[in-house]
Amino acid sequence: MNKTFKPSDSPIWDELAEHRQSMQDFRIAKAFNEDPERFNKLHLNTAGLTLDYSKNLVTGETISLLVKAAENLKLQEKIHALIAGDKVNVTEDRPALHTALRDFSGNAPFNAEVDAAFSRMAELVQQVRSGQWTGSTGQGITNVVNIGIGGSHLGPMMVTDALKGFNQGKVRCHFVSNIDSTDIHSVLESIDPETTLFIICSKSFTTLETLQNAKTVRTWLEAKLTGASLDVSKHFLAVTAKPEKAGEFGIPDTNVLPMWDWVGGRYSLWSAIGISIALSIGMENFNKLRKGAEVMDRHFESSALNQNLPVILALLDIWYANYWGTQSQAVLPYCHHLRYFPEFLQQLAMESNGKSVDLNNNPVTYPTAPVTWGTVETNGQHSFHQLLHQGTGFVPADFIAELNPGDDEHHTHLLANCLAQSNALMNGKAHNDIKQELVIKGMTEQDAQHQAMHRQIPGDRPSNTIVFDRFTPEILGSLIALYEHRVFAQSVIWNINAFDQFGVELGKQISQEVYKKLVNDGPNVGFDASTEGLIALYKNAKK
């Protein structure tokens, strides 16, 4: 437990620390036995989602104190400021208005700009999906390749894969991000140059990985379309804040959609960056995705803190990271549609809140942004669940599950595993119970004693369970927005800026100097002995 966690001078933090001490011997299963209404008291519903947070190391007093702490830091006011378009990104002096991109009221900031962008996006999507848009040889588009990295890749890739059941067979989408040429070439090998449209997604249109892949694609097209003159305008779209740079590449203004500095990359799937999503599932379904997020936005803005899904999840995160000393958080979707969701959340959570300086320019003295990880289940049950059940510390977990995908025996087994895992994490299995079972089966007392030591499972490993009836674009939209707002609420409690990411720049800058030395170009910059030694190994390998 971190006794120095005091984001303000309020005595509420001391109260929380004292309350944490009183919870040392708390047992979740015992709390259920003592209060048959615990589930009813500790679950919430909105936007098609149900959150059960009753399997946590909390009492009603815990939630009350955490909410009081959020009120002390004026969380409700800061939620309003976020959605109103105040400059909550203070280090870069701009708003963070991803919510404006899914606001259908007509009253959101930058409404005219957003509507114009989506109107043009809808036109392009209709042209491609109807076959009106053709490549250089007059054939319709059958494949779309999104070239981006970070938020220009993770969000669109995750959503397009999750909603591929809504594709209707119009176009097939591929995603390329890695500077490793294996990534781009593995896609190029599977597509026809005559019927492929490439989308270059880069706010600055200078991102190394994206531009290198784009140049490789253009060279490939020129080589493959030997019987026809390559018309770049028929094979490339761009989403960027720098249309002039896209023009230098050969992409005309009519093929460029805007990006704005008030939308961070990890929130950009809601913008024109999401055109690959719309090309896959159609503009109508893309708008349903946005609508689902809007419903969650309204809930986040208008609900009382103790009834607010993102806020409750954020407060639980604070409780575990800053009062129980947890260092990571598992996200476990029991829903194959969400197989890339944990990867998407890694950027959302850790790029947003992986900070060590607060909004008052002081060093942060308490943990922020636990490591987010996970995978689609039941795969994880056969790999890392051993650590969840019997590791020396505990990892708070989110279970996510669909309740009613249709008549599917596979799904019934899947859901049974989901519910069983959260139950097992909570209850565990006591040493004496295991020993007794082994003795009944014929094992000696001494051997049973030894075996039980290894087989006992401590329990009291906390988890949330988020369920929904049937997976749809609206449900996915509300789920993404739920986690976005959870991250923002965390940042308010930690008093940090969730919307800058200066830490990602240093390695990029150094890589430019390393590259020059690898190719013997430019000044001879001296590096540490390790880096110099590895550069020498590279050069020897190239001889």
Q: Which residues belong to the active site?
A: 351, 382, 508
Q: Angle at the Cα of 299 (from 294 to 303), degrees rounded to 5?
A: 160
Task: Report the alpha-carbon distance of residue 35 to residue 32 in Å, rounded.
Answer: 5
DSSP letter assigned to residue 405: S
What torsion do the CA atoms of 172, 177, 179, 184 make, to the nearest 10 degrees?
A: 0
Q: Specify whether the CB–CB gap between 462 and 57 falls below 8 A.
A: yes
- Residue 221 parent element (H or E): helix 208-224
> Tokens 């249709």 belong to which residue?
406
Q: Angle at the Cα of 396 (from 390 to 397), degrees rounded to 5?
A: 95
Q: Specify whether the CB–CB gap between 343 and 158 falls below 8 A.
A: yes
What are the angstrom distances between the C-alpha of 332 and each of 83, 131, 283, 405, 539? 29, 39, 29, 18, 43
Q: Specify whether the CB–CB gap between 44 and 51 falls below 8 A.
A: yes
Strand order in the sheet with 196-201: 172-176, 143-147, 196-201, 236-240, 256-258
Cis? peptide before 412, omega within 30° of 0: no
Measured in whole angstroms, how far is the alpha carbon of residue 134 from the centre of its chain?
A: 34
> 3-state class of 176 per DSSP?
strand
What are the angstrom distances between the C-alpha of 468 and each of 167, 178, 423? 21, 34, 19
Q: Specify whether the CB–CB gap between 196 and 135 falls below 8 A.
A: yes
The radius of gyration computed from the CA coordinates of the chain, to the nearest angstrom, equals: 26
- Which bin fits 330, alpha (ψ -120 to 50), beta or left (φ > 0)? beta
Q: What sections of 73-194 are H helices per DSSP? A: 75-84, 111-130, 151-162, 181-188
Task: Report the alpha-carbon distance of residue 12 to residue 66 in Å, rounded.
Answer: 9
Task: Report the alpha-carbon distance of residue 517 to residue 452 in Å, rounded.
Answer: 59
